[in-house]
Amino acid sequence: MNIGIIISQAEPETVWNAFRFANHAMEKRHTVTVFLLGKGVECEDITDKHFNVREQINGFLDAGGAILACGTCLKSRNKEGSAVCPISTMDELLRIVEESDKVVSF
């Protein structure tokens, strides 16, 4: 199954759980693409003593998961794309929604 995950916030526990879900889906052999929107583009900067978001993100990427980030959302925060948050567009978000069997939003 193709699963699209949209993360639009930067609250540590929520983002941690979103990537835990993504990792679990990858373990079950699903194809997963994450799109970061709004505050979600800040996820690689999250540090929290209880929720190791970076560890979950790294596990997802190491397993072959794909992450894309809204370029407009990055720009509005004076951020640039990175390996974790490559710049993308609404066209790509639309493609993810169209091609996914299920879409989950956090």
What's the pTM?
0.95
pLDDT along the chain (106 residues), means of 10: 98 98 98 98 95 97 96 95 89 98 98
Phi and psi at residue 64, to the nearest 5°: 100, 10
Name all domains of the chain by residue range, CATH numbers in brackets: 2-105 (3.40.1260.10)
Strand partners, 87: 69
Cβ contact 17:52 at 8 Å: no
- CA 42-37-50 angle, to 5 degrees, is 40
The per-residue pLDDT for 65 is 96
